[in-house]
A and B are shown apart, each in its own frame.
Chain A
Amino acid sequence: MDQLLQHALNALILGGTYALLGIGLTLIFGIMRVVNFTHGELYAFGAYMMYMWVMLIGANFVVSIALAMALGVLLGAGIEILLLRRLRGADIDTTMLVMIGAWIAMQNTEQLVWTGVAKSIDSPFPPAPLVMGGVSVSWTRLFVFVVAVALIAATWLLIQKTRLGKAMRATFQDRESAALMGVRIDRVHTATFAIGSGLAAAAGALLGPVFVVYPTIGDLASLKAFAIVILGGLGSIPGATIGGFILAFMEELGAGYVSSGYRDAMGFLLIIVILLVKPTGLFARKERIG
């Protein structure tokens, strides 16, 4: 029983960051229709920035997270302006290739700057975990979970309730019409990509201290983020949130009770099954033909 509870708790905590990762991607992938292969790199970037601020410069832990996220936003804006702006209106494969190129270049730059040796980041929280009955959770992970949930809520409010959010949705449904409504298209694109990137960097900054940081951590993060987005349905923030938790639970329980080796396979199998049953993901919208 304790074992099951412990697994569930692990999954819940992990799910928070998965959701964060998924939301960042769903903004870009679901709304802008850019298959963003740099998402994982922004995650890695966030983690390395965290390493830099906390371990090399010695900044405060929480401040470092904010800084890492802010830098992620800037980097995202940079990528959008430099690489994607001139591809406005290009098809999904074209932007995807550019993003793959950027991914390869970024990952190897990271490797060059930080070397392949894994880095670890100290957390200011006590190493002794919080114990509740038979289960325990480390303070660091708890903190990560709380911040992740807060960021998710903030993003949701941004999209649904603010003018920027509405402009974002309008722009990606019909760019020209949105321009006619007075929306500044370029800014909306940049903002969307920057926010999505910021969330990825935040996820990296939060998980960096939990795990270790090395140049290819982004790859699996990317794959999982895609999985989460698809589980939830493209462009749906509640979908990505729930998708993140579902994936975490599947993985944790699969690893705990089936075989730890197939941990990562669980999520992907789940995707295949879900898409076979409900091809549009759990939360989807439809377009009419004819």
Chain B
Amino acid sequence: QETIKIGVTQPLTGAFAASGNYVAQGARIAEDEINAAGGVLGKKIQLVIEDSKSNPTEAVATVEKLIVRDKVPAIMGAWSSTLTLAVMPKLQEYKVPMVVETSSSGKITTSGNPYIFRISPTSEMEAVAFKPLVPKLAIKKADFLNTNNDFGIGSAAEYSKMLKAQGVAIGVMETMDPKATDFSAQLTRIKASGGDTLFVTTAVEQLTLILKQAKELQLNTRIVSTGGSNSPDQLITQAGEAANGSFHTVFFPPWFPEVVTNPEPAKRYMDEWKKRGHEPGGLTEGFRGYDGIHVIVEAIKIAGKAEPAAIKDALWKTKIKGIYGNIEFVKQGPAGSESGQNAPSIYLVKIDGGKVVKSGL
């Protein structure tokens, strides 16, 4: 029986391996769920998942392979902003649409690539959502520590812009290589700067280390992680006591599923995740893949055929009740070649006493 192939490019190895694998696991759940319900257009779907090795050039190679060799009509990817930005020209070259499930950099949807449909929030959306919390947390002086890639730089830029507008002083803005493991030099400088809040933007592995090392250096500022790839559960198990008192933005709070817009798919997804024995810490990432595949399949259904151009047009009409909220795309970027952007919900949680709690703000 013929199948409809859907391409997925994710970092399954390398610096972002953990998150990339979670997204892929979420996508598999969606695949099985859809096929169990009879597939789409009478055919089963088949995910072709390629590993971008956390590297932009490899990411381009995976997209090239997915399109040229596997002839997929639509792709989901590519986790980090840098990887997504890297593959975007290929989408334009081969005219294949891609649903972006994680990346946050503003550039992705404003650079005039009409093949991009993003379901995750931008850094700017996040920063705006954070704005009311600034007076509540009484932030006076903020420091930044972020990876030196699109994700980290974009987030730091948006947050610092927002904070400055709120009259908050900006201390030091430190960066780190996505593969670094020792941050003592940066943290020593941050300590010397004397801010009350440290905004950290990176993947969960580095975040764990930063929390631990901050503790070792007696850095007593409040730590807020942004970007939503912070997996608080994993932080609790791996950073232990050092995680207490830190704040984290997330886009899906599995600890209190009752607050999300569409509890139904959230519950289905969480049950299946647990059933498959996946890492509970991955729940906050896996849902992105789950939603992404559902969006593409819905678009195929609307298009009535599995062809890139039709799917691209159909994505504009796609509306689903996802875990990200009610997903639909609005136009962003230069007129005539807009990209699609969804407006998902954003949550701030706190780790307290080894548990994730609502931030209470």
Asked if chains A and B are in direct contact (CB within 8 A), the reply is yes
Given contacts A3-B192, A256-B189, contact A212 B205 (CB under 8 A): yes
Instruction: Tell me whether A252 is interfacial, beta carbon within 8 Å.
Output: yes
Q: Which of A140, A212, A255 has the most CB of B within 10 A?
A: A255
Alpha-carbon distance A131/B21, docked complex (angstroms): 40
- Are the C-beta atoms of B209 and A10 separated by less than 8 Å? no
* A215-256 with Cβ < 8 A to chain B: 216-217, 220, 251-252, 255-256
Instruction: Tell me whether A14 is interfacial, beta carbon within 8 Å.
Output: yes
- Are the C-beta atoms of A7 and B188 separated by less than 8 Å? yes
Chain B residues, CB < 8 A from A217? 181
Chain A residues, CB < 8 A from B239? 120
Among the 9-residue stretches A57-65, A89-97, A110-118, A183-191, the one with 4 or more Cβ atoms under 8 Å from chain B is A110-118
* A10-26 with Cβ < 8 A to chain B: 10, 14
- Are the C-beta atoms of A3 and B189 separated by less than 8 Å? yes
Q: Which of A118, A120, A214, A220 has the most CB of B within 10 A?
A: A118
Given contacts A7-B188, A116-B21, A261-B148, contact A137 B181 (CB under 8 A): no
Q: Using an 8 Å CB-CB cutoff, how does the interface string of B163-174 with A read, 1 for contact, 0 for none?
A: 000000000001
CB nearest to B177 among chain A residues: A261
Instruction: Tell me whether A263 is interfacial, beta carbon within 8 Å.
Output: yes
Instruction: Tell me whether A141 is interfacial, beta carbon within 8 Å.
Output: yes
Instruction: Tell me whether B208 is interfacial, beta carbon within 8 Å.
Output: yes
CB nearest to B219 among chain A residues: A136
- Are the C-beta atoms of A131 and B208 separated by less than 8 Å? no
- Are the C-beta atoms of A7 and B181 separated by less than 8 Å? no
Name A127's contact: one of B176, B188, B191, B240 (CB within 8 Å): B240
Alpha-carbon distance A79/B175, docked complex (angstroms): 40
Instruction: Tell me whether B313 is interfacial, beta carbon within 8 Å.
Output: no
Name A256's contact: one of B13, B176, B185, B208 (CB within 8 Å): B185
Given contacts A111-B13, A116-B21, contact A14 B242 (CB under 8 A): no
Chain A residues, CB < 8 A from B205? 118, 212, 214
- Are the C-beta atoms of B177 and A136 separated by less than 8 Å? no
Given contacts A111-B13, A136-B217, A137-B216, contact A255 B181 (CB under 8 A): no
Number of B residues with CB within 8 Å of any CB on chain A: 36
- Are the C-beta atoms of B185 and A260 separated by less than 8 Å? yes
Instruction: Tell me whether B32 is interfacial, beta carbon within 8 Å.
Output: no
CB nearest to A211 among chain B residues: B181
Alpha-carbon distance A128/B217, docked complex (angstroms): 9
Q: Using an 8 Å CB-CB cutoff, how does the interface string of B1-39 with A read, 1 for contact, 0 for none?
A: 000000000001110011001000000000000000000
Chain A residues, CB < 8 A from B176? 260-261
Chain A residues, CB < 8 A from B192? 2-3
Chain B residues, CB < 8 A from A116? 12-14, 17-18, 21
Name A255's contact: one of B12, B185, B218 (CB within 8 Å): B185
Instruction: Tell me whether B186 is interfacial, beta carbon within 8 Å.
Output: yes
Interface size classification for chain A: 35 or more
Chain B residues, CB < 8 A from A128? 215
CB nearest to B148 among chain A residues: A261
Name A263's contact: one of B185, B238, B240 (CB within 8 Å): B185
- Are the C-beta atoms of B17 and A117 separated by less than 8 Å? yes
- Are the C-beta atoms of A138 and B209 separated by less than 8 Å? no
Q: Smallest CB–CB gap between A40 and chain B, Å?
A: 14
- Are the C-beta atoms of A129 and B17 separated by less than 8 Å? no
- Are the C-beta atoms of B218 and A136 separated by less than 8 Å? yes
Instruction: Tell me whether B184 is interfacial, beta carbon within 8 Å.
Output: yes
Instruction: Tell me whether A122 is interfacial, beta carbon within 8 Å.
Output: yes
Q: Smallest CB–CB gap between B159 and chain A, Å?
A: 19
Chain A residues, CB < 8 A from B242? 127
Given contacts A136-B216, A214-B205, contact A117 B18 (CB under 8 A): yes
Q: Smallest CB–CB gap between B345 and chain A, Å?
A: 27
Q: Smallest CB–CB gap between B334 and chain A, Å?
A: 32
CB nearest to B186 among chain A residues: A260
Q: Smallest CB–CB gap between B233 and chain A, Å?
A: 13
Instruction: Tell me whether A280 is interfacial, beta carbon within 8 Å.
Output: no
- Are the C-beta atoms of A261 and B175 separated by less than 8 Å? yes
Instruction: Tell me whether B272 is interfacial, beta carbon within 8 Å.
Output: no
- Are the C-beta atoms of B215 and A127 separated by less than 8 Å? yes
- Are the C-beta atoms of B175 and A129 separated by less than 8 Å? no
- Are the C-beta atoms of B208 and A120 separated by less than 8 Å? yes
Alpha-carbon distance A2/B192, docked complex (angstroms): 9
Given contacts A14-B182, A141-B216, contact A118 B148 (CB under 8 A): no
CB nearest to A141 among chain B residues: B216
Alpha-carbon distance A245/B270, docked complex (angstroms): 49
- Are the C-beta atoms of B186 and A255 separated by less than 8 Å? yes
* A185-212 with Cβ < 8 A to chain B: 211-212
Chain B residues, CB < 8 A from A111? 13
- Are the C-beta atoms of B217 and A211 separated by less than 8 Å? no
Chain B residues, CB < 8 A from A216? 14
Chain A residues, CB < 8 A from B188? 3, 6-7, 10, 256
- Are the C-beta atoms of A211 and B182 separated by less than 8 Å? yes
Chain B residues, CB < 8 A from A252? 184-185
Chain A residues, CB < 8 A from B191? 3, 6
Chain A residues, CB < 8 A from B148? 261
Instruction: Tell me whether B241 is interfacial, beta carbon within 8 Å.
Output: yes
Chain B residues, CB < 8 A from A211? 181-182, 209
Q: Which of A10, A128, A137, A141 has the most CB of B within 10 A?
A: A10
Alpha-carbon distance A275/B244, docked complex (angstroms): 47
Alpha-carbon distance A129/B187, docked complex (angstroms): 15
* B119-165 with Cβ < 8 A to chain A: 148
Contact sample, A vs B, 17 pairs, CB 8 Å cutoff: A6-B191, A6-B217, A10-B188, A14-B184, A117-B18, A120-B208, A127-B242, A131-B218, A136-B218, A211-B182, A212-B181, A212-B208, A217-B181, A252-B185, A256-B185, A260-B185, A260-B189
A interface residues with partner B (beta carbon < 8 Å): 2-3, 6-7, 10, 14, 111, 115-118, 120, 122, 127-129, 131, 136-138, 140-141, 211-212, 214, 216-217, 220, 251-252, 255-256, 260-261, 263-264
Known contacts A117-B21, A129-B217; 4 additional CB pairs below 8 A are: A3-B191, A118-B18, A255-B185, A261-B175
